[in-house]
Amino acid sequence: MPVAVVVGMQWGDEGKGKIIDLLAENVDVVARYQGGHNAGHTICFNEKQFVLHLIPSGIFHENKLCVIGNGVVVDPLALVEEMRQLEEAGIDLEGRLVISDRANIIMPYHGTSDKGRESGSGFQKIGTTGRGIGPSYADKIARAGIRTCDLRDETYLKERLRANYDEKQKILKSLYGTELPEFNCLLDELMGYRETILKYIADTHILMRDQIAQGKNILCEGAQGTMLDVDHGTYPFVTSSNSTAGGACTGLGIPPTKVDRVLGVIKAYTTRVGEGPFPTELSDADGERLGKVGHEFGATTGRPRRCGWFDAVVAKYGVHLNGIDALILTKVDVLDGFKTIKVCTGYEYKGKTFLDMPADAEVLENCRPVYTGFDGWSESTVGVKDFDRLPENARRYINRLSELLETPFMMISTGPDREQTIQREPLF
């Protein structure tokens, strides 16, 4: 049962897109299990760069099935736009892209509500991507969502929209002074998207069940990262879904007994976009250098990412929470030229040392990271493909991280391109 789940180990942007694209070469199906177009997954090959938001990162390999699971929230406008861009780039989608008929739809009022809350009318600012993700998941849990299967039946769709419309109209008007478009405009808009996407909508649970039964190799793609998981992340500064490995089962309708391996993608340092605690954040020249060399700007919103040293408390937490079998270390090349590289091994707060991730935002905001220093290297590691060709201190840094996390690195990434990778262990 060759089913692997790939998760981000930090606060997102670990390089999942690059790694999933690379691994996709040897699988039959790539299936996204949560999140929405808040994600930005960058893929580089043949001197071209693509940023995917909703469509799984296997799409650039011919004949691979790409599934958008029931756990994903789908903005039809964003989806249609991304489909158009890919088709313009010569990528065939028909017969390869399948969208779950149980996925919830992000409606225009979700975006309005997300932006309204973030604009500071009393709610704590999270620094969201403003894409309507939180309000859409809130409606899903409140059983008020509209699902992709509803697009099949105009009468039922109308009923579902009517049930939401008056309530949303009142809320948005009183809280943010915003008017919704006319009911019929919203309905027509949805019906317009239906033209394009209906043929891609199917029962993906059945599809996944059949693919598993046929022994196909399947990669489940996580978006965001472990620390942005709604249950296990730095709540409330998280996204609104389960980005951790368990989300693959609920978000795709795969039983836990069918998951074979869990892989974690982890950056050689740490970044975060948006608000919220970040114990190893650097506001000095080192932090600036990580951001500059690593081109740390949000792939979705373009916001500068906050940068800091590798946090082994976060990493260990992620290894245990997700049940990581092997890790993939990315952006090692960004550390080239640092005299000293630091790794956080604990948090000190009010005379106590935390070796495990505390739940309280207060502790995380005000703790002092305990660091171990490593000698850096002056040689370039950009594009190195052979572990033995890395500078001695880079190997030492990587081996030490592996020991600390008690987990092997099956792959090490030394640049954004597919080719710039050290492959140490096969996927299955």
41 is catalytic: yes
Q: Which of 21, 37, 41, 139 is labelled catalytic?
A: 41
Instruction: Rank residues 18 and 160 by Cβ distance to ligand IMO and give the closer one.
Output: 18
Q: What is the contact mask toward Mg ion in residues 295 to 334, using x (rule: CB under 5 A)?
A: ----x-----------------------------------
Residue 15 as a binder of ligand IMO (CB under 6 A): the answer is: no
Report how far residue 179's alpha carbon sits from residue 166's, in angstroms, rounded to the nearest whole number.
Answer: 11
Q: Torsions phi, psi of 185, nearest 5?
A: -65, -45
SS3 3: strand
Which residue of 58, 145, 251, 274 would you call a contact of ligand IMO, by CB under 6 A? 274
Give me the helices (H) in 4-125, please.
Answer: 16-24, 76-88, 108-118
Determine if 116 is a binding residue for ligand IMO (CB under 6 A): no
Using alpha carbons, select from 7, 15, 5 the residue that is nearest to residue 305: 15
Element (H, E) at 304: none
210 tagged catalytic: no
Among ligand IMO, Mg ion, ligand GDP, none, what binds residue 339 when CB lies within 5 to 8 Å by partner kind?
none
- Residue (305 or 316) nearer to Mg ion, CB: 305
Residues 376, 341: contact at Cβ < 8 Å? yes
Residue from 134, 279, 287, 416 touching ligand IMO (CB under 6 A): that is 134
Catalytically annotated residue among 13, 101, 114, 286? 13
Task: Give the Å distances, CA to CA, from 111 to 79, 119, 356.
Answer: 15, 12, 36
Q: Among residues 40, 135, 346, 416, which is the contact residue for Mg ion, using CB under 5 A?
A: 40
Question: By the 8 A CB rule, do 140 and 160 touch?
Answer: no
Q: Which stretch binds ligand IMO (CB under 6 A): 221-229, 308-316, 329-337, 356-364?
A: 221-229
| Cβ–Cβ < 8 Å for 217, 428 | yes
Which helix (H) or strand (E) element contains residue 144? none
Query: Pairing mode, if any, of strands 409-413 and 352-354?
Result: unpaired
Shortest distance (Å) from residue 78 CB to ligand IMO? 12
The binding site for ligand GDP (CB under 6 A) comprises: 8, 12-18, 40-42, 44, 294-295, 299, 330-331, 333-334, 413-416
Name the segment binding ligand IMO (CB under 6 A); options: 19-27, 222-230, 376-384, 385-393: 222-230
Least CB distance from residue 126 to ligand IMO, whole Å?
5
- 78 lines the binding site for ligand IMO (CB under 6 A): no
Position among 7, 13, 129, 349 found at the interface with Mg ion (CB under 5 A): 13
Q: Return the range that interacts with ligand IMO (CB under 6 A); candidates 32-40, 173-181, 256-264, 348-356.
A: 32-40
The answer for residues whose C-beta is within 8 angstroms of residue 245's C-beta and 6 or more apart is 5, 7, 222, 259, 262, 321, 322, 323
Q: What is the dihedral of CA 331, 268, 388, 400, to 10 degrees?
A: 180
Cα–Cα distances (Å) from 275 to 14, 127, 306, 361, in that order, read 18, 5, 10, 12
Say which residue the tokens 């030490």 belong to: 400
Does residue 306 belong to the site contacting ligand IMO (CB under 6 A)? no
Give the binding-site size for Mg ion (rule: CB under 5 A). Answer: 3
Site of interaction with ligand IMO (CB under 6 A): 8, 11-13, 38-41, 126-129, 131, 133-134, 223-225, 228, 239-240, 273-274, 299
Site of interaction with Mg ion (CB under 5 A): 13, 40, 299
Active site residues: 13, 41
